[in-house]
Amino acid sequence: MSFTIANTIDDVLTALAAGARPIAGGTDLVVGARQGKAPLPADLVALDRVDELRTIGPEPGGGIRIGAGVTHATLVHDATVVGAATSIADASALVGSPATRHVGTLGGNVMNGSPAMDTGAPLMVLDAAAELRSLRGTRRLTMTELWTGPGSTAAEPDELCTALVLPAESDRSGSAYVRLEYRRAMEIAVVGAAAAVTLADDGTIARLAVALAAVAPTIVAVDVSAMIGHRVDDNVLAAVALAASDTATPIDDLRASADYRRHTVGVMARRAVDAAVRRAGGEPIGVPVNRSIGIGVAS
Amino acid sequence: MSESFQLRVNDVEYPLSVDQGRNLLGVIRTEIGLTGTKEGCDDCECGACMVLIDGQPVNSCSYLAVQAQGREITTVEGLAEGDELDRLQRNLLEVGGVQCGFCTPGMLMSATALLAEHDDPSDDEIRIGLSGNLCRCTGYARIIEAVRRTADGA
């Protein structure tokens, strides 16, 4: 049994190589252990004092690098994230409660691998890569490569997710994340959808990506290539909803039936595309989209 | 196996020797003996166990005590100055925002963190600030009013 408080990434990698498991805010690990889902690992290395993991900055060569230890509370307000990766701010604003957001991190959300994670669909539509480091070296995986099933990733036990790296965004781009929820706080997505769009000069869709949460063993992408070159209208939004529902392979559980999830994820996908297109066109829609378009707003 | 470390709670250092799997809530209540912080759901849902770590709200039921070393921990006992309640505590009593009282310590800690960050929060910001705290008695309106009054300088 050991508990190591790391101050540098190298401290963490050394501890992982010796068999320790990482703990950031503990909002999944400690809660899971207390619920009896999985015992607390015998050897832990704490990441919350590693300053190198808690920065947001430009990626050399273009794009944004978000340290894996950045908390949800920071992501909600960070000007770079809100400006160029708005869907991540939308998602972070919905995670847990203020207490969860102050200790929970982007890297923790990603590496916990829940198919219902809020930040996952935004990262996928923004073409993010997860940077994994170990004493053996550094590699980058796409989100599709990273998530292999519910609660599992392609990372080796000695690898630490150090950053999520986003490519540079074109002009006239926007993204959004919308989820179905039964309450405003301490909620897990019933279903969720993210969209990222780039508009051409003539206002048609030059790039579109849609990804879904809580309807498959992992976050899943929807094939929306048929929408490229079209102007966004009701027909396109209806086609997006249909494609999302067709992509979903949800389960029945105590929060929703599979049929309800399959239908509502289409509605969320449609709303996400609509909000992303409006943002791409310069319309300011506040973070999170859920509150701005009236989901869960106090009457 | 026990870990030996110190926790700083309400400006007092407490030397401890506890298992690394112990949660902060249990250590504050049973090792340190400050029982103002409550155990409600013990599952990160209700917020009765809310404490501040370096000024930020944390569910102490689901936070490892050993991870809080080197940080400033504030519990509800740290709000009053001697026998003098702080303004938020007094306003909560005066507007009737306390009924059974079980959620009150957690509400006070979340509201304290909120007011430290926003000196003039909107009602929606107050609701979001308290969104991790459940109250089954008051219906929340008077708790929100107490936070509002405190922000307004009462």
In this complex, do A34 and B42 lie within 8 Å of one another by their Cβ atoms? yes
CATH number at residue B138: 1.10.150.120
CATH number at residue A278: 3.30.390.50
Instruction: Name the domain count of chain A.
Output: 1
**Which residue matches tokens 């090792």?**
B31
pLDDT tens for the 154 residues of chain B, in order: 688 999 999 999 999 999 999 999 999 999 999 999 999 998 889 999 999 999 999 999 999 999 999 999 999 999 999 999 999 999 999 999 999 999 999 999 999 999 999 999 999 999 999 999 999 999 999 999 999 999 999 8
* Residue in chain A nearest B44 by alpha carbon: A31
In this complex, do A298 and B127 lie within 8 Å of one another by their Cβ atoms? yes
Q: Label the pairing between strands A43-46 and A2-5.
A: parallel
Task: Indicate if B72 and B129 belong to the same structural domain.
Answer: no
Q: Is A101 within a domain?
A: no
Contact A211, A125 (CB under 8 A): yes
Give the CA diameter of chain B: 50
pLDDT at residue number B1: 66
In this complex, do A27 and B132 lie within 8 Å of one another by their Cβ atoms? no
Alpha-carbon distance of B40 to B55, in angstroms, equals 22
**Which residue matches tokens 């319309």?**
A283
Task: Indicate if B46 and B101 belong to the same structural domain.
Answer: no
* Residue in chain A nearest B123 by alpha carbon: A298
CATH number at residue B46: 3.10.20.30
In this complex, do A99 and B110 lie within 8 Å of one another by their Cβ atoms? yes
Alpha-carbon distance of A164 to A295, in angstroms, equals 28
In this complex, do A5 and B67 lie within 8 Å of one another by their Cβ atoms? yes
Q: Which of A3, A100, A102 sits opposite B3 (nearest CB)?
A: A3
Q: Which of B1, B70, B131 sits opposite A97 (nearest CB)?
A: B131
Q: Is A177 within a domain?
A: yes
Task: Indicate if B70 and B136 belong to the same structural domain.
Answer: no
Sign of CA dihedral B35, B37, B38, B41: negative
Strand, coil or helix: B14: strand
* Residue in chain B nearest A45 by alpha carbon: B67
Q: Give the residue from B24, B51, B62, B66 with the most A CB atoms within 10 Å of its CB, the best one to mutate.
A: B62
Alpha-carbon distance of A2 to A162, in angstroms, equals 22
Instruction: Name the domain count of chain B.
Output: 2
Q: Give the residue from B5, B25, B59, B144 with the most A CB atoms within 10 Å of its CB, the best one to mutate.
A: B59
Domain boundary among B78, B95, B114: B78
Name chain B contacts of A31, Cβ cutoff 8 Å. 43-44, 62
Residue among A152, A157, A69 at smallest CA distance from A111: A152
**Residue B125: which domain range?**
87-151
* Residue in chain A nearest B57 by alpha carbon: A99
- Radius of gyration over alpha carbons of chain B, in Å? 15
In this complex, do A100 and B45 lie within 8 Å of one another by their Cβ atoms? no
Alpha-carbon distance of B112 to B133, in angstroms, equals 13
Residue among A29, A80, A73, A187 at smallest CA distance from B113: A73
What interhelical angle do B141-151 and B87-95 show, nearest 10? Answer: 140
Number of C-beta neighbours around residue A170 at 10 A = 12
| Chain B interface with A: residues with Cβ < 8 Å | 1, 3, 20-21, 23, 42-45, 47, 50, 56-59, 61-64, 66-67, 69-70, 110, 113-114, 124, 127-129, 131-133
Name chain B contacts of A298, Cβ cutoff 8 Å. 124, 127
pLDDT tens for the 299 residues of chain A, in order: 899 999 999 999 999 999 999 999 999 999 889 888 889 999 999 999 999 999 999 999 899 999 999 999 999 999 999 999 999 999 999 999 999 999 999 999 999 999 999 999 999 999 999 999 999 999 999 999 999 999 999 999 999 999 999 999 899 999 999 999 988 888 899 999 999 999 999 999 999 999 999 999 999 999 999 999 999 999 999 999 999 999 999 999 999 999 999 999 999 999 999 999 999 999 999 999 998 887 766 54
Alpha-carbon distance of B62 to B43, in angstroms, equals 7
B136: DSSP letter: S
Domain boundary among B51, B78, B105: B78
Q: Which of A3, A46, A185 sits opposite B132 (nearest CB)?
A: A185
pLDDT at residue number B95: 97
Q: Predicted ipTM?
A: 0.94
**Residue A281: which domain range?**
173-287
Task: Indicate if B95 and B61 belong to the same structural domain.
Answer: no
Task: Indicate if B72 and B6 belong to the same structural domain.
Answer: yes
Chain B nearest C-alpha distance from A241 (Å): 30
**Each residue's pLDDT tens digit, A53-62:** 999 999 998 9
Q: Which residues pair with A142 in a beta bridge?
A: A129
Task: Indicate if B34 and B71 belong to the same structural domain.
Answer: yes
Q: Which of A5, A103, A185 sits opposite B58 (nearest CB)?
A: A103
In this complex, do A97 and B3 lie within 8 Å of one another by their Cβ atoms? no
Residue among B44, B41, B40, B35 at smallest CA distance from B9: B35
Contact B147, B114 (CB under 8 A): yes
Residue among B6, B31, B28 at smallest CA distance from B106: B28
Domain boundary among B78, B109, B139: B78
Strand, coil or helix: B28: helix
pLDDT at residue number A185: 87
pLDDT at residue number A81: 97
Task: Indicate if B110 and B61 belong to the same structural domain.
Answer: no
Residue B101 Cα to chain centre, angstroms: 13
Q: Is A197 within a domain?
A: yes
